[in-house]
């Protein structure tokens, strides 16, 4: 009798929900979408037709980048809140009380740019939403649905709304005045109501998307960075959860001789374990309202974190816990508690320099790690690992939002591309287009149970749906601040994506 492969895993209940079987998915930044109904940026309800489209394929996962409120800034990893959604993604055409809407659409018909104009989009959408708020809030604020929302989210909503109101009212927010602002919060009540109301509308729409996904057997995968911006409502309101004067980064390694200084506050797991854990449990509970699966960013940071004195160079940091023997017990305990507290299925971002013992701990917990094909090799320049060597409990992908696409990689790093083809026994006499397709197809046949790639990887094989220059299909280039990071827009609209027969054929061919 064959034993159940998940029966003894701490993540058993999560596996039971998604199924211990192959899954195929696409990664898309919501901001990169555009449709006939959206206003200058991708919106929550733009996901509905994509869910309908995926029903015609073997794909069952849509992975999103973080959707937290950034205050109008492009990077989704620099949020002002761990829990609040970004209202820039509200679908304005489907707000309640449509008879009271201001004129819509807010952009001229056909308005579109190759990259996102965040400043213009935020300005026009905020103007629209303020007019809508003035007309609709008096009646909707007394509705049972709104009152239930504010009650269920009281643990974070008021401090977030006050923080956003204070930032808008003061122009330049001074964290030293936070206690004084809290004392005089009644002066900002209307502004607080506005930001609370935007969260109500955002939660309502994204929950609608999740419900529709469930009806159609599609899983939504969110993205939860473990670190928070020092300039966020959560850090301001919960400063006792963080080590005073310490910020996170990365130590010097073969990729960076100077190390990396990130500047994010460091959780005080050593002295405030239960309090920090409670904060995380609440965060995961809120995330479970929208998602079924989540990407746990910088997973190794839960085992050990490179902590630097604020203002010092990264080279002067130290690992915390300082006792290396505590790394695996600490991370294992945290992740075990996450699994107990939330039905969300975690997939770890365990890229970069990660101790083998951390990856072993993930497997013992039944939590998949991430396998990026171009990085799975012996050392920096050695032989590539065969696709059938990956653990079933892992996720295979050909690229990430921080790298070139597969086609971009082949152009930028031709030597590595040819070495990969050689190691995978691909015929180098074939055209690069055929070789790239074979690699993408092979990524869906690795021994991993999850196979998830950026949507533009598939678009690249349909010329009328992709950009002529593959370098312009990149989402973020961490090494180039002059690059329009986080401003990427798909060339085709949602309608064009979901109705294109050539693209559908590509999707079905790679996942057959």
pLDDT tens-place string over residues 126-185: 999 999 999 999 999 999 999 999 999 999 999 999 999 999 888 777 888 899 999 999
- pTM of the full predicted structure? 0.97
The overall average pLDDT reported for the chain is: 95
Residue 111 lies in a domain: no
**Count of domains forming the chain:** 1
Residue 117 lies in a domain: no
Residue 373 lies in a domain: no
Residue 328 lies in a domain: yes
Cα separation, 491 vs 403, whole angstroms: 19
Residue 322 lies in a domain: yes
Look up the domain containing 322 and give its range.
Answer: 238-353
The per-residue b/e assignment along 22-61, b for 16 or more CB within 10 angstroms, e otherwise, is: bbbbbbbbbbbbbbebbbbbbbbbbbbbbbebbeebebbb
Q: For residue 332, what are its two tokens?
A: 């294992």
Q: What is the pLDDT of residues 381-407, one digit of tens each?
A: 899 999 999 999 999 999 999 999 999
Residue 21 lies in a domain: no
Picking from 80, 37, 41, the residue whose alpha carbon sits closest to that of residue 487 is 41
Confidence of residue 235 (pLDDT cuts 50, 70, 90): very high
Residue 62 lies in a domain: no
State phi, psi for 122 to the nearest 5 degrees: -60, -40
Picking from 32, 208, 202, the residue whose alpha carbon sits closest to that of residue 125 is 202
What pLDDT, on a 0 to 100 scale, did the predictor assign at position 111? Answer: 66
Residue 405 lies in a domain: no
What pLDDT, on a 0 to 100 scale, did the predictor assign at position 112? Answer: 66
Report how far Cα 234 is from the mean position of its chain's Cα atoms.
18
């Amino acid at each position: 009798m064959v034993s159940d492969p998940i029966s003894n895993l701490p993540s058993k209940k999560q596996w039971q929900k998604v199924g211990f079987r192959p899954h195929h998915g696409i990664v898309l930044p919501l901001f990169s979408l555009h449709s006939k109904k959206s206003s200058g940026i991708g919106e929550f309800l733009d996901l509905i037709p994509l869910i309908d489209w995926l029903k015609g394929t073997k794909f069952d996962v849509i992975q999103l980048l973080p959707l937290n409120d950034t205050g109008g800034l492009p990077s989704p990893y620099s949020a002002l809140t761990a829990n609040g959604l970004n209202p820039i993604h509200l679908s304005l055409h489907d707000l309640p009380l449509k008879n009271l809407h201001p004129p819509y659409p807010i952009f001229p018909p056909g308005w579109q740019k190759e990259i996102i104009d965040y400043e213009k989009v935020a300005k026009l959408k905020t103007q629209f939403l303020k007019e809508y708020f003035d007309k609709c809030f008096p009646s909707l604020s007394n509705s049972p649905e709104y009152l239930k929302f504010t009650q269920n989210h009281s643990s974070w909503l008021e401090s977030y709304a006050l923080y956003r109101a204070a930032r808008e009212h003061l122009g330049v927010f001074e964290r030293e005045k936070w206690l004084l602002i809290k004392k005089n919060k009644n002066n900002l009540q209307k502004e607080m109501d506005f930001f609370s109301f935007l969260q109500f509308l955002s939660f309502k729409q994204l929950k609608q998307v999740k419900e529709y996904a469930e009806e159609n057997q599609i899983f939504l995968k969110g993205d939860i960075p473990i670190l928070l911006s020092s300039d966020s409502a959560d850090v301001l309101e919960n400063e006792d959860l963080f080590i005073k004067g310490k910020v996170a980064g990365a130590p010097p390694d073969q990729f960076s001789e100077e190390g990396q200084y990130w500047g994010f506050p460091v959780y005080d797991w050593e002295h405030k374990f239960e309090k920090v854990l409670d904060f995380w449990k609440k965060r995961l509970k809120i995330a479970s309202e929208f998602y079924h699966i989540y990407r746990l960013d910088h997973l190794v940071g839960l085992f050990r974190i490179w902590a630097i004195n604020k203002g010092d160079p990264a080279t002067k940091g130290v690992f915390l816990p300082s006792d290396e023997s505590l790394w695996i017990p600490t991370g294992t305990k945290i992740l075990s508690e996450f699994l107990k507290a939330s039905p969300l299925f975690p997939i770890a971002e365990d890229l970069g320099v990660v101790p083998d013992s951390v990856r072993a701990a993930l497997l013992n917990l039944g939590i998949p790690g991430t396998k990026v094909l171009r990085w799975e090799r012996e050392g920096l320049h050695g032989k590539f690992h065969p696709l059938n060597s990956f653990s079933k409990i892992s996720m295979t992908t050909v690229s990430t939002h921080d790298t070139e696409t597969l086609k971009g990689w082949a152009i930028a790093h031709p030597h590595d591309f040819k070495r990969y083809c050689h190691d995978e026994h691909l015929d180098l006499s074939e055209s690069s287009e055929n070789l790239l397709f074979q690699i993408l197809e092979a990524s869906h046949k690795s021994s991993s149970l999850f196979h998830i790639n950026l949507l533009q990887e598939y678009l690249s094989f349909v010329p009328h749906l992709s950009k002529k220059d593959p370098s312009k299909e990149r989402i973020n280039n961490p090494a180039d601040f002059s690059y329009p990071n986080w401003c990427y827009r798909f060339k085709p609209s949602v309608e064009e994506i979901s109705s294109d027969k050539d693209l559908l054929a590509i999707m079905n061919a790679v996942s057959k």
